[in-house]
Structure 1
Amino acid sequence: MTTVADAVAALDAAYPPALAESWDAVGLVCGDPAEEVTGILVCVDPTESTVDEAIELGAQLIVAHHPLLLRGVHGVPADTPKGSLVHRMVRAGVALFCAHTNADAADPGVSDALAEAIGLTVTGPLNPNVDGTTGIGRIGTLDKPEPFAVFVERVARALPATEGGVRAAGDTNRRVQTVAVSGGAGDSYLSAAAAAGVDAYVTADLRHHPASEHLAAGGPALVDVAHWASEWPWCEQAAGILRAGLGGTVSVTVSTIRTDPWTAQSAGAPTRTGRFTG
């Protein structure tokens, strides 16, 4: 019999909890380690839709990247959004496990999956830990250089579509071969990408001022994708770890539900002149 504890052991071996940031909340959120597991759902976000999916699949465990209860809580009443999810999972016999910044820093981890999706050969971490192999972000290379405009389309094709799409900043003719990537919010690593001397940096949740100042200082071109899309490739990585670690005894499904929160955008055409008309 394969149990929740068996799945947790396989995940902890791949994504050691010690790699998590001090502020993070990783590990088993709810569920009985001794319960049998025959089905697992892997997703980025533990939301109402992914809990629905797990229950419909008959899964006994959800493995999510983002924590459900990141900040300290004093209760999980069922009349709150997160409390309602906890109660639904407990009643349905569904456990929840989260691997967040430990999965970001692991080797391989979230950014390795992003780099692989884009077609990069990873050469090392962007922001390495003292061991030199783990750490946030990855640096990689393309087989041959290509114009930045072509590279942006490569990124867009590699990741699941979202309403926000893919944004880019930089000279569209710039040749790109060395690339830094960081799954999730990555503007705190802009300086690391600049110091690495890469041609482009792919991440999510870039803000106006840090991006503008980075480009003004001559930093690498920027590709800004949806947070969810940048981390979704990790789901198949985690699913592979579970399939191998549990000897194929459990059905492991990767969720294809888009949990990116943005659901619409204006159809207005972008200006390419640097000016607008009012």
Structure 2
Amino acid sequence: MTDTAAPPTVLDVVNALDRRYPRDWAESWDRVGLVLGDLAHPVHRVLCVVDCVPETVDEALAAGADLVVAHHPLLLKPVSSIAPDTYKGRIIHRMIRGDVALYVAHTNADVANPGVSDALAARLDLTGLRPLVPATGVAAGDGRGTGRIGELPGPMDLAEFTGYAASRLPATSAGVRSAGDPARTVRTVAVCGGAGDSFLADARRAGVDAYLCADLRHHPASEHLAEEGPALLDVAHWATERPWLDDVAAWLGGQFGVTVTVSDVDTDPWTVHAFSSSSKETQP
């Protein structure tokens, strides 16, 4: 907590976030850091969100937030206009008019220690955490890298673990689905916040019993199982990253003594989940 009666400025908070999640840890294609905002503006309230979308901007304005800390970049791809009749332009104009700054920590927060996958692993009570894919060029024991591997408190079969994951992670319409033998014993689990099928081979090489992530695609998942890889659990993208917001909020509150809240607005695009009358559903 800062030793001053004056509130921190946007610059103060940005500098602290940059130290915790250095921008050069981000992937080359990523767009992180301060997106908009007056660096000299005082910060009394912060809102942490997964996505900067109209619904979370509504939440920030209603709460009187001075800063939004988001995980996903608003301007990941180049735009030629931020006119108020465009989707992103409307968001930017509303935030500027409301004196709300926007900061993004994305892939630099994914690989941090602690980072996005640490918070996901904590929701599942995994212990003995280590990176699924260690960051290159770091000292042994640094702990940075993509994903995490850990041990469950006790063994479960896959069907039981699927239900356990669904009960511990933020609820979404998509829920949690798994692939593999429902009776398979699960002790060691790899997790990755966000899209994770590019790390299927890493999970297989690590020899884990199950791998949990988001956005698994049909063919990579099918081929992975055919090669006797670990069981798979597919979770809504938002649900795998929402736990990290609690960590960021607690850290910012401790650093600056400001009011920090977390958005529980479910920004997963899928809103309805139904089964046909002929579908077979395995109940955990």
After TM superposition, the score normalised by the length of structure 1 is 0.95
Match of 1:259 among 241, 262, 267: 267
Equivalent pairs: percent with the same residue?
Answer: 56
Post-superposition CA distance 1:183-208 (Å, at most 9, x none): 00000000000000000000000000
Post-superposition CA distance 1:251-278 (Å, at most 9, x none): 00001111111111224253269xxxxx
Match of 2:207 among 172, 175, 197: 197
Alignment RMSD (CA, Å): 1.2
Q: How many Å apart are 1:25 and its aligned residue?
A: 0.1
Indicate yes or no: 2:84 matched with 1:78: yes
Match of 1:134 among 144, 158, 166: 144
Unaligned runs of 5+ in 1: 274-278
Match of 1:21 among 22, 27, 38: 27
Q: How many Å apart are 1:122 and its aligned residue?
A: 4.0
Unaligned runs of 5+ in 2: 1-6
Q: In structure 2, what is the equivalent of residue 38 of structure 1?
A: 44
Structure 2: distance between partners of 1:7 and 1:154:
36
Structure 1: distance between partners of 2:280 and 2:220:
22
Q: How many Å apart are 1:154 and its aligned residue?
A: 1.1
Indicate yes or no: 2:188 matched with 1:178: yes
Amino acid of the residue matched to residue 268 of structure 2?
A: D
Divergent runs of 4+, >6 A? none
> SS state of the match for residue 232, structure 1?
helix
CA contact (8 A) 1:11 1:241 kept: no
Structure 2: distance between partners of 1:123 and 1:271:
35
Q: In structure 2, what is the equivalent of residue 92 of structure 1?
A: 98
Q: How many Å apart are 1:144 and its aligned residue?
A: 1.8
Structure 2: distance between partners of 1:272 and 1:141:
27
Q: How many Å apart are 1:6 and its aligned residue?
A: 1.4
CA contact (8 A) 1:104 1:111 kept: yes
Q: In structure 1, what is the equivalent of residue 228 of structure 2?
A: 218
Q: Which moved more, 1:217-226 or 1:121-130?
A: 121-130
CA contact (8 A) 1:65 1:98 kept: yes
Amino acid of the residue matched to residue 96 of structure 1?
A: L
1:107-256 aligned within 5 A: 107-130=113-136, 131=138, 132=140, 133-246=143-256, 248=257, 250-256=258-264
Number of positions where the alignment pairs a residue of Structure 1 with one of Structure 2: 271
